[in-house]
Amino acid sequence: MVRRSTATATATATAIVVVAVVALAAWSAAVATAASRPGADWHHALAVLKSLRRQPPSVPIVYLLGDSLARECTVDDRSWATQVRRYGGGRIVAFNLGSRNQTFGQSAALVGVTPRRRAIAFIGVDPGRFAAAPIKPVLKLDRRLASSYAQHHYTGVGILSVARKKAQVRDWVRRRYPAFRRSYLRNLLRLDALIVACERRGLRPVLLELPLNTAVAGHGFDRALSTYRYGCRSLAALHDIPFVSLVAQARLVNADFHDLAHMVESGRVKWQRLLAKRTAGLLKRYGMR
């Protein structure tokens, strides 16, 4: 009787473990699928490009490609274009095509459907993009998501505390930096392919370092920053294109960020002003004004 009870208990425990493992695997797969599922910001980018292909503008186009850090770093497309004109860059149309977790491969897919017109493509770079796993681009437009698009997901309301932001730094060092190290070289090659895709499409690629809350990050990102900056500068030299960093010049403070890198209203105003000045200079440099 004791042996039978022990065997029954063992079998029950084994069954529970198996169920738990299966459930965990299913949950992990669901999380991975949800993380890679394109959102409204991705479909907005597709809708913009579809509209441009249908009716290309007569003036130069300026694109910003990148992840959610890129999405949050401008106020809006119209004011960006207005500032560029004010700084002597002439009439343009500007489009922030940043989207959540956008990989270099996804950016290349967007480039592949741009209209063949005079254009500058700012390619946003940050540690997260070099730590990302590849995601298959979705090029079928979901009009419902595109119509529900709102550019900014972060505002001055609900900014994280300094303690929570510092906890994010520790989490980056512990969890994300190993992913960065594993994926860095592959993503550098994907960035190289993205630059080539821009050039073949007739776009002028420009590498743009995206914002970082250095006031809180401290030295937590130093190794990742030095690594990817070296790679970006090397690619920029190889392709004879600019590598632009506004991080120091913008003089952003902790209050300009929701967390470690996503800016809120005050940060966007500072950043877009500098980006517009740099955009105007590049338009002159490339004879597009």
Which residues are within 8 A (CB) of 281 and not within 5 positions of it... i.e. 6 or more apart?
Answer: 89
What is the rounded distance in angstroms from the CA atom of residue 107 to the CA atom of residue 134? 11
Confidence band for 229, pLDDT divided at 50, 70 and 90:
very high
Asked if residues 207 and 242 have their Cβ atoms less than 8 Å apart, the reply is yes
Asked if residues 195 and 234 have their Cβ atoms less than 8 Å apart, the reply is no
DSSP labels, 16-47 = HHHHHHHHHHHHHHHHHHHHHS--HHHHHHHH
Confidence band for 37, pLDDT divided at 50, 70 and 90:
confident
What is the rounded distance in angstroms from the CA atom of residue 159 to the CA atom of residue 163? 12
Copy the structure tokens of residue 215: 């006031």
pLDDT at 277 over 60: yes
pLDDT score recorded for residue 116: 94
The per-residue pLDDT for range 266-276, each reduced to its tens digit, is 999 999 999 99
The per-residue pLDDT for range 79-134, each reduced to its tens digit, is 999 999 999 999 999 999 999 999 999 999 999 999 999 999 999 999 999 999 99
Segments in the chain forming alpha helices (H): 2-36, 40-54, 68-71, 77-86, 104-111, 127-131, 143-147, 162-171, 177-201, 214-217, 222-239, 247-250, 265-285
* Nearest alpha carbon to residue 118 among 65, 57, 71: 57
In angstroms, how far is CA 167 from the centroid of its own chain?
A: 22
Copy the structure tokens of residue 239: 């392709």
What phi, psi does 260 have (nearest 5°)? -95, -15
Radius of gyration of the chain (CA): 22
Measure the CA dihedral 80/84/90/92, to 10°: -20
What is the rounded distance in angstroms from the CA atom of residue 33 to the CA atom of residue 36? 5
pLDDT score recorded for residue 38: 82
What is this structure's pTM? Answer: 0.87
pLDDT score recorded for residue 11: 41
Average pLDDT over residues 173-177: 96
Length of the chain counted residue by residue: 289
pLDDT at 31 over 90: no
Asked if residues 208 and 124 have their Cβ atoms less than 8 Å apart, the reply is yes
pLDDT at 14 over 60: no
The per-residue pLDDT for range 207-227, each reduced to its tens digit, is 999 999 999 999 999 999 999
What is the rounded distance in angstroms from the CA atom of residue 199 to the CA atom of residue 286? 13
Asked if residues 183 and 231 have their Cβ atoms less than 8 Å apart, the reply is no
